[in-house]
Amino acid sequence: MWSVREGLERFIQSLELTQGQRDEVSRQHTMVRQCLRERLNTETDFLSGSYSRNTAIRPLHDIDIFVVLGRISSATSGRGLTPDVVLKQLRQALHEEWPRKSLPILQQHSVHIGFSKSGIEFDVVPAYEVPGQEVYLIPERQTGEWLRTNPRLHQTRSTQANEIAGKKLKPLLKAVKHWNRRQSSSPLGSFHLEVMSYSAFSTPPGDYLEGLESLFSHLSHHVRKACPDPAGLGPDVDERMSHNQREAAQQLLASAARQVRLARDESTREPARAHARLRELFGEFYRDRG
């Protein structure tokens, strides 16, 4: 039987994408981006979202591609470019490239396209750059408005927080994201969890077990507060979260923190029981031996 700390570390490692998966993702996102450069004459494009910030976990869900269509001070001035029109233009470009696939899906801020052979799916976000500012405008289909954002600032903030935590934050966050996926009643989004975690550590935790308890505890306290956009541009990350949802999330996170605290207490004298607690939190991905 592994020690509890070794079991947790191996579990976290198991959430990482394999090199083969990374190679296939790279091949396919390069293909999608090249298609859009040719069909839409895009100004630039880059990966965004959890994959670009190295906080994505297995099994891999959607990968975000941020496509800058041009520079404009107001996305609607003189050109009639509403969010709905731009999203439909993007969908049409993808559909023309892959006409045998199902019609790509219009979403709130993006167009979704999946590749059944590999199982990899992409959310393509169209954007306009605001000249002279570190700001992009992206569509919000429901309201017909354009939102201000900058995913590169999100990436910078993520990296800074990870460095402060001795590069332990991102591995710990992956464990929390996996836990969250297993909570059928959780109202927490992946990005919400990530942004709340940026303020979790002022110094590196001693090890992953200590860090995991601290992170769950931190999240359980901060989920009751508003969570501003880390780029300081858009609306709060959790703007649509109700009071009841915050209370439910707080209870789930506090319960997880208690389980990890008990596992820490039992890790030396009752390692089998500590392993069982962590397996209850994380499911079959968590093992206590090779």
Q: Is 228 exposed, middle or buried (0-12, 13-18, 19+ CB in 10 A)?
A: middle
Distance between CA atoms of 164 and 179, rounded to whole angstroms? 23
pLDDT per residue as tens digits for the range 133-175: 999 999 999 999 999 999 999 999 999 999 999 999 999 999 9
Out of 3.30.43.10, 3.30.460.90, 1.10.3720.10, 2.40.50.70, the CATH code matching 19-150 is 3.30.460.90
pLDDT band at 76 (very low <50, low <70, confident <90, very high): very low
For the chain, give the percent of residues with pLDDT over 90: 86
What CATH fold (topology level) applies to the domain 4-16+154-285? Poly(a)-polymerase, middle domain (1.10.1410)
Please report the pLDDT score of residue 78 as a whole number: 44
Distance between CA atoms of 182 and 269, rounded to whole angstroms? 28
Please report the pLDDT score of residue 145 as a whole number: 93
Judged by DSSP in three states, 17 sits in coil
Please report the pLDDT score of residue 38 as a whole number: 96
The token pair at 2 is 């592994």
The token pair at 278 is 């962590």
pTM above 0.85, yes or no: yes
Three-state secondary structure of 147-179 = EEECHHHHHHHHHHHHHHCCCCHHHHHHHHHHH
pLDDT per residue as tens digits for the range 247-286: 999 999 999 999 999 999 999 999 999 999 999 999 999 9
Compute the mean pLDDT over every residue in the chain, rounded to the nearest whole number: 94
- Report, as an integer, the average pLDDT of 174-185: 95
pLDDT band at 60 (very low <50, low <70, confident <90, very high): confident
List the chain domain ranges.
Answer: 4-16+154-285, 19-150
